[in-house]
Structure 1
Amino acid sequence: MSFFGSLAVASSGMQAQRLRLDIISSNIANANTVTTPEGGPYKRKDVVFESEKFSKYLVGVKVAYVVRDDTPPKLVYDPKNPLADTKGYVAYPNINPVVEMVNLLDATNSYQANISAFNAAKQMAQSIIGVLNV
């Protein structure tokens, strides 16, 4: 097992969590987007992680794919809105800002944990190099 393996595992975690942060940010930014090029309101997205084997002992993580949440949109009664249906309802995205903020905090904490692991492995490698240079 090498120090580079530890760096690769931590780096894979940072990359996966960065994409997760991007997706969560997109969800928050589009929480009130009622029209999209595809038609209808913005659909919440989420990432699916899968393990990524680096060696016999080292397993990192990667984003397998981004999924669209097909939960029905929230219907808000607003008959004066030009986008209202015949019953006066406007379809809003299926996004709960509180849930997205909790997910954002979780992704941020996971990203920070991977940074800590990366820095610890880097410091260990630098210590070994220092010992070998003596």
Structure 2
Amino acid sequence: MSAFDALSIANSALGAHQTWLDALAGNIANANTITSTDDEAFQATYVIFQSQAGGGVDVAGFAGSDPEGVLVQDPANPLADEDGFVRAPAMDMSSEMSQLIMAQRGFQASVQVTKTAQDTYAAALQIGGR
């Protein structure tokens, strides 16, 4: 492992966690998006990660939730069908919020690793400069 591998790994983790946070923000913002029963429901975005050969993580792709969503009875909604149903996203808000906390903590940990590595490298340069 070279001296800069820690920075490279932490940098890949920062990018992955930022992508995860962005996806979760979109999911949470659209949790109450209602459509007619003729349309597809909002599809939550889930990030798929994979490990890198030399350490770190990459975003391998994205997956979407079920476009069928769930049917909710809301006869007062202008998008309701003749039976009073509308389509809502098939999302569990408690799961989304739990994932948000995990993504935030992972991002914070990656920032701390980056700061610690930078401080260590700066201290090493100071030792060599004396």
Q: TM-score, normalised by structure 2?
A: 0.90
Superposition pairs of residues 104-115 of structure 1, within 5 angstroms: 104-115=100-111
SS of the residue 2:4 aligns to: helix
Give the secondary structure class of the aligned counterpart of 2:75. coil
Shift of 1:64: 0.4
Aligned partners of 2:40 and 2:67 also within 8 Å: no
Q: SS of 2:52's equivalent?
A: strand
Deviation at 1:116, TM superposition (A): 1.4
Which residue of the partner structure matches residue 80 of structure 1? Answer: 76
Q: Is the 8 A contact 2:48 2:62 kept in 1?
A: yes
Matched, 1:63 2:59: yes
Q: 1:71 to 1:99 in 2, by over 3 A?
A: farther
Number of residue pairs the alignment of both structures matches: 128
Q: Is residue 2:22 matched to residue 1:22?
A: yes
**Which of 69-78 and 107-116 deviates more?**
69-78
Greater shift, 21-30 or 78-87, is seen at 78-87
Q: Distance in 2 between matches of 1:90 and 1:34?
A: 7
SS of 1:80 mapped into structure 2: coil
Q: Which of 105, 111, 118 is equivalent to 2:114? A: 118
Structure 1, gaps ≥5 residues long? none
The Cα shift of 1:53 comes to 2.2
Worse-superposed segment, 18-27 or 82-91: 82-91
- Aligned partner of 1:10 in structure 2 is 10
Runs of 4+, deviation exceeding 3 Å: none
Q: Report the Cα distance in structure 1 between the residues aligned to 2:67 and 2:98, rounded to whole angstroms.
A: 19
Name which of structure 1's ranges 91-100 and 7-16 shifts more when overlaid on structure 2.
Answer: 91-100
Q: What percentage of residue pairs aligned between the two structures are identical?
A: 34
TM-score by length of 1: 0.87
> Which range moves more in the overlay, 8-17 or 113-122?
113-122
Whole-Å separation in 1 of the counterparts to 2:35 and 2:70: 13
